[in-house]
Amino acid sequence: VDGVTQRRTNRRKAPGRTGAEGKRQGKKTANMDVDEDEEGEQDETPNKRRGANVRKPTKKHGGGDEDEYDSEDKAPRRTRRAAVSKKKRGRPQDSDEEDSEVEKGKKGKKGAVKKGGKEEEGSMGKKGNAKGKDKGKDKDNDKKKKKKDESSSDSRSDSDEEEESMSEGEMARLMEEVEEKKKLIANIRNKPWRMKRRLTHLKEAQQFVDKFEGALGKGKGRKWYAYKVMMTKVLMGLPYGSIPRKTVPRAEQATAQDYSVLMDFNVIQNHFKGLTHSLTSFSISINFLGYCKYSVLFYGYYNDQRTIGFLQFRLPLSYLMVGIGTFGYSLMVVIRTMAKNADVGGGDGEDGEFTFAWKMFTSWDYLIGNAETADNKYASITTSFKESIVDEQENQKDENIHLRRFLRVLANFLITCSLGGSGYLIYFVVKRSQEFATRNDLSWYEKNELEIIMSLLGLVCPPLFETIAELEDYHPRIALKWQLGRIFALFLGNLYTFLFALFDEVNTKLEEEQAIKNASQLAMNEYYSNYSRLVNETGATPPPMDPADVIRGPCWETAVGIEFVKLTVSDIQVTYLTILIGDFARAVIVRFLNYCWCWDLEAGFPSYAEFDISGNVLGLVFNQGMIWMGAFYAPGLVGINVLRLLSSMYYQCWAVMATNVPHERVFKASKSNNFYMGLLLLILFLSLLPVVYTIMTLPPSFDCGPFSGKPKMFDVIMETIEMDLPAFMGTLFSYAANPGLIIPAVLLMVLAIYYLNSVSKAYQHSNIELKKKMQMAREEEKNRRNNTDSTNQVMKDLEDLLPNRSLIPPTPPSEPGETLVPEAKPTKSKPRSAGKGINLQKDVALASPNPNARGPVNRPPGPRGPGGTADPGRGHRRGPPLS
């Protein structure tokens, strides 16, 4: 058995050594991957015998020099021998051991490996054969014997004996060691070593593991595989604890599109079902939208047929359900996202502790590979530092609070004024447009006055607000929030004014409609009475009238839908034009006029446009609100919006790349997205209001839309309950609609909200408490460290006197011990940082005994270099070759 295993281990050695060479060749040839290594191994295997034989030449050559492989070979024997005495104390300090191994390896190995490798290659051809003959004789003997017999003949015989009589305890110890080595292999990527050192170390460890796993009767194929994997890991940076790349897209845009897609999908369903219904008339084209007014885009397209087709699709019911369901779904998504964000935000809430340190050490993005970006990054880092400095200074002093307060009040007053003014302007314009509606001789401007004014307000007001906000002198982050809030208020105010004006219009339309309805009913009655009078028959057919000629009501729902579509379209136009002119044209001018201008246009006054992130996000939010509001009356709006979002993504992406520079100050309005999500939620609620109000109160048009003829839109539900559901369901619903049930339900909900709210408050409170505790613990630890450092000398001395320490021969604490400390830290730091203060003393204590603990390091696994002065076993062994 022994012979076999020995052979195996020798064979192992060849690939092990040639691994590195194979690697280099691999680079040259083609594939540097594992397969290459394998190939390398295949190529080398014929040489394996020689590889083993070569050992001799190298040994001779390396005589005084320490040969790594040599000591490796001896390792098992030495282990067994020396270990008995040494192992016991050495065991617990394996990491140190490894490190000291490394330390020595660095000295001894660097030369040795290179030399050894080269010499081997050189001598392989010549000496290999000759030696092979010698070896051939001993073949039936141990391989090991063969190798050793020349160099260390004295130790040969007894070592062989030892090998044969491997006791149980030794086996166990060996196993342990093998495990240790395996651990080293597994962790090699964690060691802050040079590549060369890593390779040699890995090689050694691997050899050791192979050898002794073989000796312990374990398979080697698996090992080889592990080795390959290891190598590739070392070289290619394969997963250690695979850090996921930050690929999760930001919620804002995606979700916005999601809703849209969903709505669009449902709407399309409606469209398919609605196709059976033929359009009554294309002939009338009154205004702006003309044909579109009667397309699937708008409410009026859908008719009131209760069920459609074989499957009895209930168009009116599904129209209402989709309209309301969209809101419900959106609400759910927004709230869930917010909850998730709050989770994430709470996770790394340890802010304020290392503000400056983090800024200092982690603010540079190593991914930057472009000079312009680097410039921007420098600027943004500088400003962020300045900002933090200002923060810090503001924490310390606060001067002339009265003036500042006055200025802030003034600024808010000014902004309220401009908000009110813009609101009134819009109201005025809407009123005017209603007057215009009765006239036919309108210019293009007069037709689109409202949209133009609204877009202009959206363009002019934000910069105005920003200017006014200068007065307030808030911290930039707070200022940004104010600014966003104000713009939001502006948009929302405008939208709502617009909406109220629209309601006025709707009311007039309703009156008009009533008149038309009466008139047409009158006409119909007249017609029928005439018909029955003339024909003397009651079953009258409808009047032979072309549907296009029928007098039709104004259909206010479609009118509302049209307004929203117009608003959206003009918003798109304004946005795109702004980008084209404000960004692109400016960039072109700045770029090309710069060649012939008095001052530097790029760095000076006009410069390039900045990409205003928060403004753009706000635009998206607002846009989404408009869609929510308008989608019920103009289902096609969703489709338009999807197109808009898609195109504007590419368009703005181009604009940002080509014409914009990053914002000088990039502030996050909040750490999580919850500021924007909150705005989204608010606007969702606010856009839900008018829609639900109209659904619940206003009577639908009598001659258009899926709800025509019903007194209220939601009557569709009643109708369905009555006609399609079994009778008991109807009674069930009537109970559910009973105020006696609803009021307790509302009360219950209020109570639940109250309860949850107080629970969350309590959690928040305990959170803050815990944070405080952590802070205190940190301070305490700091203090303790401080104290221990100064007063701990006594403790250290005491520790040195501890019994187990005193057993160790007091070798002079040499320098290696010191150099060890930084090496050992990376692996140790984790438990320590978790363990806090108490560990500190241990660490200190561990650091000093290190030099003493070097003995164990020289045990077999370490194909150690020279200079193991503290090692009696080694000295003994090394003696002969050295002398």
**Cα dihedral 447/449/454/457 (nearest 10):** 160
Positions 635 through 664 that interact with other proteins (CB under 8 A): 656-657, 662-663
Helix (H, G, I), strand (E, B) or coil at 661: strand
- Give the whole-angstrom CA distance, residue 208 versus residue 75: 9
CB of 20 to other proteins, least distance (A): 9
Identified binder of other proteins from the candidate list 217, 221, 241, 711, rule CB under 8 A:
241
Positions 669 through 708 that interact with other proteins (CB under 8 A): 673, 676
For residue 224, state whether it binds other proteins (rule: CB under 8 A): no
Identified binder of other proteins from the candidate list 225, 240, 282, 755, rule CB under 8 A:
240
CB of 260 to other proteins, least distance (A): 20
Helix (H, G, I), strand (E, B) or coil at 839: helix
Positions 119 through 178 that interact with other proteins (CB under 8 A): 121
* Contact (CB, 8 A) for 658 and 583: no
Positions 61 through 120 that interact with other proteins (CB under 8 A): 114, 117-118
Stretch that binds other proteins, among 151-159, 231-239, 259-267, 318-326 (CB under 8 A): 231-239
Whichever of 277 and 663 has its CB closer to other proteins, that residue is 663
For residue 245, state whether it binds other proteins (rule: CB under 8 A): yes
- Give the whole-angstrom CA distance, residue 316 versus residue 327: 17
CB of 833 to other proteins, least distance (A): 5
Whichever of 254 and 745 has its CB closer to other proteins, that residue is 254
For residue 248, state whether it binds other proteins (rule: CB under 8 A): no
Q: Which two tokens stand for residue 843?
A: 């660490």
Whichever of 374 and 551 has its CB closer to other proteins, that residue is 374
Whichever of 233 and 712 has its CB closer to other proteins, that residue is 233
* Contact (CB, 8 A) for 183 and 109: no
Whichever of 385 and 733 has its CB closer to other proteins, that residue is 385
CB of 826 to other proteins, least distance (A): 5
What DSSP string runs through 205-233? HHHHHHHHHHHTT--SHHHHHHHHHHHHH
Q: Which amino acid is at 807?
A: L
- Give the whole-angstrom CA distance, residue 96 versus residue 90: 10
- Give the whole-angstrom CA distance, residue 185 versus residue 234: 10
What proportions of the chain, in percent to the nearest 5, are helix, strand and coil?
75, 0, 25
Stretch that binds other proteins, among 61-69, 147-155, 259-267, 361-369 (CB under 8 A): 361-369
Whichever of 117 and 493 has its CB closer to other proteins, that residue is 117
Identified binder of other proteins from the candidate list 371, 401, 801, 838, rule CB under 8 A:
371
Residues in the chain: 883
CB of 113 to other proteins, least distance (A): 10
Identified binder of other proteins from the candidate list 357, 534, 596, 598, rule CB under 8 A:
357
Positions 16 through 55 that interact with other proteins (CB under 8 A): 21, 23-28, 30-34
CB of 289 to other proteins, least distance (A): 36
> Which helix (H) or strand (E) element contains residue 658?
helix 636-659
CB of 130 to other proteins, least distance (A): 24
For residue 217, state whether it binds other proteins (rule: CB under 8 A): no
Q: Which two tokens stand for residue 656?
A: 């940002």
N-term to C-term CA, the chain = 35
CB of 68 to other proteins, least distance (A): 16
* Contact (CB, 8 A) for 230 and 188: yes
Positions 249 through 288 that interact with other proteins (CB under 8 A): 250, 252
Identified binder of other proteins from the candidate list 350, 470, 504, 815, rule CB under 8 A:
350
- Give the whole-angstrom CA distance, residue 198 versus residue 206: 12
Identified binder of other proteins from the candidate list 367, 596, 794, 801, rule CB under 8 A:
367
Stretch that binds other proteins, among 432-440, 451-459, 542-550, 609-617 (CB under 8 A): 609-617
CB of 396 to other proteins, least distance (A): 11
Positions 742 through 771 that interact with other proteins (CB under 8 A): none
Please, what is the angle between helix 143-151 and helix 153-164, to 10°?
A: 150
x/- contact string, 292-331, with other proteins (CB under 8 A)?
A: ----------------------------------------
CB of 62 to other proteins, least distance (A): 17
Identified binder of other proteins from the candidate list 454, 617, 618, 655, rule CB under 8 A:
617
For residue 811, state whether it binds other proteins (rule: CB under 8 A): no
Whichever of 169 and 822 has its CB closer to other proteins, that residue is 822
Q: Which two tokens stand for residue 320?
A: 């209402």
Give whole-number Cα distances, 320 to 66, 711, 717, in Å.
88, 15, 9
Whichever of 804 and 833 has its CB closer to other proteins, that residue is 833
For residue 190, state whether it binds other proteins (rule: CB under 8 A): yes
- Give the whole-angstrom CA distance, residue 354 versus residue 351: 7
Identified binder of other proteins from the candidate list 176, 353, 504, 512, rule CB under 8 A:
353
Burial 312-341 (b: 16+ CB within 10 A, else e): ebbbbbbbbbbbbebbeebeebbeebbeeb
- Give the whole-angstrom CA distance, residue 523 versus residue 517: 10
* Contact (CB, 8 A) for 602 and 660: no
Identified binder of other proteins from the candidate list 361, 595, 605, 728, rule CB under 8 A:
361
CB of 242 to other proteins, least distance (A): 7
CB of 117 to other proteins, least distance (A): 7
Biggest CA-to-CA distance, the chain: 141
* Contact (CB, 8 A) for 460 and 431: no
Name which of 877, 846, 878 is nearest 100 in CA terms. Answer: 846
- DSSP code for 278: P
Whichever of 329 and 385 has its CB closer to other proteins, that residue is 385
CB of 460 to other proteins, least distance (A): 24
CB of 395 to other proteins, least distance (A): 12
Q: What is the number of H-type helices and E-type strands within the chain?
A: 32, 2
Identified binder of other proteins from the candidate list 60, 61, 145, 189, rule CB under 8 A:
189
CB of 824 to other proteins, least distance (A): 10
Identified binder of other proteins from the candidate list 276, 758, 786, 793, rule CB under 8 A:
786
What DSSP string runs through 711-745? SSTTHHHHHHHHHHS-HHHHHHHHHHT-HHHHHHH
Q: How many CA atoms lie within 13 A of 634 on its CB side?
A: 29
CB of 348 to other proteins, least distance (A): 5
Positions 821 through 840 that interact with other proteins (CB under 8 A): 822, 825-827, 829-830, 832-833
Q: Which two tokens stand for residue 148?
A: 């050793």
CA-based radius of gyration for the chain: 42
Phi–psi pair at 457, nearest 5 degrees: -60, -45
Whichever of 197 and 293 has its CB closer to other proteins, that residue is 197
Q: Which two tokens stand for residue 544?
A: 């032979």
CB of 671 to other proteins, least distance (A): 9
Give whole-number Cα distances, 114 to 121, 188, 220, 530, in Å.
11, 21, 27, 117
Stretch that binds other proteins, among 203-211, 586-594, 597-605, 782-790 (CB under 8 A): 782-790
Identified binder of other proteins from the candidate list 385, 576, 651, 733, rule CB under 8 A:
385
For residue 815, state whether it binds other proteins (rule: CB under 8 A): no
Counting residues that bind other proteins (by CB under 8 A) gives 97
